[in-house]
Structures are given as C-alpha cells and as structure tokens.
C-alpha cells in the first residue's frame, strides 16, 4: 500500500508572526494596566461579589415582588447598609460614652489623688510588698505618676491613631463595596452570563461545574462566618452574664461584629477580664480568660470550618487549612479566597485523576447484524 504524502502546514510569513507577537504583548499590557488600576479596589470588588452571590436568592425574590431590577437593587443595598451600619452606630455610641466615663474618672483620679492600693495587691506572693510600696510612692508624687502614664500611654496613642486610620479606610471600602453591590444586583444576570461564557472558553466542558463549585463555596463561607459570629456572640453573652460584667448584650453585639475580624473577640473578653481584675475580682477575671480561650475562641476554630465544610462539601481538614491559610495570606477576605481556591483545585484534580470511561462492548445482536451485512 503506497504511503500518503505528509501534509505540510505552510509557515506563517515573518510579518504575520511579528504582528501576532505584538498583539499578545498589547493584550498582556492592557490586562496588566487594568489590574493595576483596579488593585486598590480589589477588596471592595471582592466583598461586593461575595455579598451578591450569597444574597442572590433574596434579591431574586425582591425583584419579583417589586417588579423591577433597580428598585430591588436599591432595597437590597439599603438592607445590607443597615445590617452593617446599625451595629457600628451602636458601638460608636457606646465608645463615646466609654471615653467620656474614662475621661471623668481620670480627671477625678488626678484631682483627688489615686485611691489606696487594693487588698489583693498585698496578697500577691513575693511581689506584694514591693508593688504596694510602688503604688504609695506614685500616689504621693503626681509628677512621677504623670510621666509614667505618659510613657506607657504613648504606644496606646499611636495604636489608637493607626486603628482609626484602618477603621476609616475600612469604612470607605465598605461604602464603595455597597455602591458596587447595586450594579452587581442590577446587572447580575448579564455578568453571570459573561462569567459562564469565559469559564467555558477557558476550562471547556467542566466550566459549569467549576462555577457551581465556586458559588457553593462562597455561600458556604458566608454561612460559616455569620453562623460562627452568632454562636460566638451567644457564648460570650452567657460568659459576661455569669461573670457579672455590665453591658453584656452590648459586649455580645461587639463580639458578633469583631468575630468577622481575625483576633477580634479576644479584644472584647480580654477587656472584660481586665475590668474584672481592676474591680478587685481576680477570680472572675481568671474565669473570663479561661472561658474566652476555651469557649468563645473555640467556637471560631471549630464551628466555622465545620459549617463551611458542610455547605461547600469540602473536607473539614482542608477547610480549616483554607480558612487559616487564606487569612494569613490575604487578610479578612482570605476567609473566602482560601476555601474557594481549594475547592476549585479539588474539583479540577478530581476530574483529571478520574479514570477514563470504559468502552461499552457491542451487543451480540449488533455484532451478528454487522457480520451479516459484511457477508451480504
């Protein structure tokens, strides 16, 4: 049998290759420029996408009730704003009252002189006598006391200024995220269609499964974050009530808000423990520290990965590593980025490692029919 001549593909002319090279360079430069421009808003864009994906069923319900995308988007953004701003306003009012109380107490403390040392200070082994003597010396020398307080409060002042800057930047990011959320709601169906088309062109047939995996993981993370925040607030409220800390409900609300921030709840129960210690209740202060470490913080370490793994169908160990590693790498938004990336990687790896489907053997009747046809 004669061999067929090989079909040779003609090479592209040098001019065409030169044009194609510059087309690729131009596209890469365009993408890099767009990413550089959008990089300062990355957190706000990602946050608005997470909220839109997590609350999309409720938006669809609002859209059906209000008979329009724009009214539903406005109501949805207003609801999200109230959920975020409401607790922040309560905490701000409480903070203003706390600062006023602290200022009055400090003014009276310097006017009337420091109070006598508490009795429990003398009962501290090995150091009680020295601490009491230092207390009395500082109480009799107001100038030395002011210098000591100024030296120790200077780092606190820098921390307060830095925290204020971070808080202000966070408010700007949240405000811009809510602004973007309106367009995510209004044009969500068209944006979703573009995302599916792009995913199909990049990933091929498994694209829809990957998009669904990412969506389910984001919803699962949101459920885990809010569920953990609510559980931590309830556990913290119980501890504050048992220890006799005033404003237990307000502190529980603060715990709910700060539980979405890494190392947030320890600031609340740690402050409560310090207050109990200053009130001459060292036993309840120790209880608050132990309860915060093994009850309040344990909720975040166990329940959050469990809820996320239940909703995203991701193994518990990988969910835990995704949450912790994501936070360490990307900050707060890493709670969503870490598990989502792991879920997508597992989905792609599972398809790649799956054995190919076995060939279906031909039926005996089909084989006989084929043989008869050949003989005929």
pLDDT mean by block of 10 residues, the chain; 376 residues: 49 71 89 91 85 89 89 92 73 64 66 68 72 75 69 71 70 85 91 86 78 81 83 92 88 82 79 83 88 86 78 76 80 77 80 65 49 45
What percent of the residues of the chain are helix, what percent strand, and what percent coil, each to the nearest 5?
Answer: 85, 0, 15
Long-range contact set of residues 214-217: C-beta below 8 Å, sequence gap at least 24 = 214/340, 214/343, 214/344, 215/53, 216/311, 216/312, 216/313, 216/343, 217/308, 217/311, 217/312, 217/314, 217/339, 217/340, 217/343, 217/344
Q: What's the pLDDT score for residue 136?
A: 75
Q: DSSP strand E in 238-357: where?
A: none
pTM: 0.66
Q: What's the pLDDT score for residue 61?
A: 92
Q: What's the pLDDT score for residue 10?
A: 53
Look up tokens 């067929």; give the residue. Answer: 4
307 burial type by CB count under 10 A (0-12 exposed, 13-18 middle, 19+ buried): buried
CB contact at 8 A, 314 and 343: yes
Q: What's the pLDDT score for residue 98?
A: 62
Q: What's the pLDDT score for residue 375?
A: 46
Q: What's the pLDDT score for residue 221?
A: 80
156: enclosing H helix or E strand: helix 142-186
Using N-to-C axis directions, what is the helix angle for 207-243 and 42-54, rounded to 10°?
90
């Amino acid at each position: 049998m004669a061999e067929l001549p090989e079909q040779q593909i003609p090479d592209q002319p040098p001019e065409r290759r030169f044009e194609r090279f510059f087309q690729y360079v131009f596209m890469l430069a365009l993408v890099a420029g767009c990413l550089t421009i959008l990089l300062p808003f990355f957190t706000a864009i990602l946050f608005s996408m997470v909220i839109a994906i997590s609350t999309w069923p409720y938006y669809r319900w609002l859209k059906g009730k209000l008979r329009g995308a724009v009214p539903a988007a406005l109501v949805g953004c207003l609801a999200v704003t109230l959920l975020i701003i409401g607790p922040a306003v309560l905490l701000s009012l409480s903070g203003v009252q706390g600062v006023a109380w602290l200022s009055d107490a400090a003014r009276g403390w310097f006017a009337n002189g420091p109070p006598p040392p508490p009795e429990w200070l003398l009962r501290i082994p090995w150091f009680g006598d020295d601490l009491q003597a230092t207390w009395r010396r500082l109480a009799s020398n107001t100038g030395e006391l002011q210098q000591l307080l100024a030296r120790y409060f200077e780092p606190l002042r820098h921390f307060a200024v830095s925290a204020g800057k971070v808080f202000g930047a966070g408010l700007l990011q949240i405000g811009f995220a809510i602004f973007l959320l309106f367009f995510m709601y209004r044009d969500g169906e068209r944006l979703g269609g573009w995302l599916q088309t792009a995913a199909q062109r990049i990933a091929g047939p498994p694209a829809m499964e990957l998009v669904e995996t990412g969506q389910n993981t984001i919803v699962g993370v949101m459920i885990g974050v809010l569920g953990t925040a609510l559980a931590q607030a309830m556990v913290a409220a119980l501890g504050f009530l048992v220890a006799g800390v005033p404003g237990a409900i307000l502190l529980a609300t603060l715990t709910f808000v700060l539980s979405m921030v890494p190392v947030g709840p320890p600031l609340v129960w740690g402050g409560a423990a310090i207050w109990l210690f200053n009130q001459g209740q060292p036993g309840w202060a120790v209880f608050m520290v132990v309860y915060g470490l093994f009850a309040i913080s344990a909720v975040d370490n166990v329940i959050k990965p469990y809820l996320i793994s239940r909703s995203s169908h991701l193994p518990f160990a990988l969910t835990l590593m995704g949450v912790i590693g994501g936070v360490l790498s990307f900050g707060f938004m890493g709670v969503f980025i870490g598990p989502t990336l792991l879920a997508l990687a597992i989905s792609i790896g599972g398809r790649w490692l799956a054995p190919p489907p076995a060939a279906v053997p031909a039926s005996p009747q089909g084989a006989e029919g084929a043989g008869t046809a050949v003989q005929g």
